[in-house]
Structure 1
Amino acid sequence: MTSKKITSVQNPLVKTIVQLQEKSRNRKQSGLFVIEGLREIELAIRGDYTISTVLFYPDIIQQTNIPISLAQNRNIELIEISKEVYHKLAYRETTEGVIAIAKIKPHTLPSLHLSENPLILVAEATEKPGNIGAILRTADAAKIDAVIIANPKSDIYNPNVIRSSIGCLFTNQIAVASTEETIDYLKNKNINIYCATLQDPTSYHTLDYNKPCAFVVGTEDTGLTQAWRDASTKNIIIPMSGSIDSMNVSVAASILVFEAKRQRNFL
């Protein structure tokens, strides 16, 4: 793979990358997104993402130190960039001097491959990229079957999702769908639905999660929509002793998922 060099921030590719970082519309129209960092890029490759271009800043990483999986792939264009270009493109304050362009995957419900006894996490209308990233880290740590983003309010290829997930966007099975589609999918698969909500709840730790189940979490401000409450097998709550009645959605998701893992003796 022959490398070339870009030294100007006015280069068309540099402008394209900036647009991909900043605008969800550009990502959707082009089918491309940007990955920053060696670990994240390598996780994307392991997750069968197609990498088209890798840019590297030689003052941080030499071409000879780029992983073989990238450096010897003839389908990947390798480009050396200058300090000015790197600082224009680098999204994180600390990184390894490598930025890649990759193809977006379709994230459909039918594409999910579930185990015989699936454990799924559903997040409805989660808006903050940091929360989505944290949820994906939990899903990876617990090695659950899938994460479903229902009624998405944020693009999962937002650079902040990739950064906050530390690459777990690429290690999980993810589907994006409407709430109605997600409910139909879970019911057709005979998966129990446990909704984290304040309406008529049962303490989460009193229930049995050894059968196929999906935990559903909503926004901290408005909670879950009525459709989920109507479809719920059981509404659940995490008992709290303080002055507030809700906690960060990613924290709540972690507590619920790891209780199910504990019951299933997978810890």
Structure 2
Amino acid sequence: MQDQAFTIKVMTEKEVGIAIDWAAKEGWNPGLHDAHNYYKADPNGFLIGYLGDEAIATISVVKYDSSFAFLGFYIVKPEYRGKGYGMQIWQAGLAYLKHCNIGLDGVIEQQDNYKKSGFKLAYRNIRFEGSGGGYAPENLETIELATLPFADIKEYDKTLFPADRSGFTQNWINQPNSKALGILENGRLAGYGVIRACREGFKIAPLYANTAKLAESLFIALKTSTRYDETIYLDIPKVNQAALALAEHHNMKPSFETARMYTKEKPHLPLDKVFGVTSFEIG
């Protein structure tokens, strides 16, 4: 019997759902609408490997511009691991991102493997989980993000991400089963956050704010859109001590860590304003 050929192709939006399902099985708890939102970030940035007619490997290589990209969804079906298929799709993904500074959030145990491909540790992220619900004080200065001109949101977001991702952001803040809030300081946007429904519970992602006080106001307002018996998740850069204190104050517990790595220099971003990462999969 002739060996089946291993072929790699760009995913359709429907096939991105395969990567999402596999990520759920790996314990990454994706959002209910992540396939659509992630695909919009870069329709050419999702690769899938087939052995004959069977999908066996995935990787996302979202290119935001000619200089910055983010890698994720590097998954091989368990029964096909250790056979070289993962390395083939990995190399195809890196070829698409040639010359880019590539970021990724990898499991801690795989750091050495990523280092072999030129990735260097920048810092760690910690996923916290806790209970939803609660009541928001009446003096919270949060507003519905949709009431602001998108140009204001784009201007704020570009200070917190290494590349223009305005197309993605516009989809992200308007996705179904979510709530997006902003907070103003002296009439200007000084932070925003999004909470979205996931396979389990809800993730607050991102949570950006100029100060810890503003971040707490956003966090409380977003959290109160869920019930006490629902779980909320927040992914925090370990270098942001105020964000860690926020999680601790709200009785959130760490569940796992990732290694944020880059192939070139770590982008110069104000991580003291990042109280919650947007996505471990696409940055």
The TM-score, its normalising length taken from structure 2, stands at 0.24
The TM-score, its normalising length taken from structure 1, stands at 0.25
Higher relative contact order (CA 8 A, sep 6+): 2
Pick the structure with more strand per residue: 2
Mark the structure with the bigger radius of gyration.
Answer: 1
Pick the structure with more helix per residue: 1
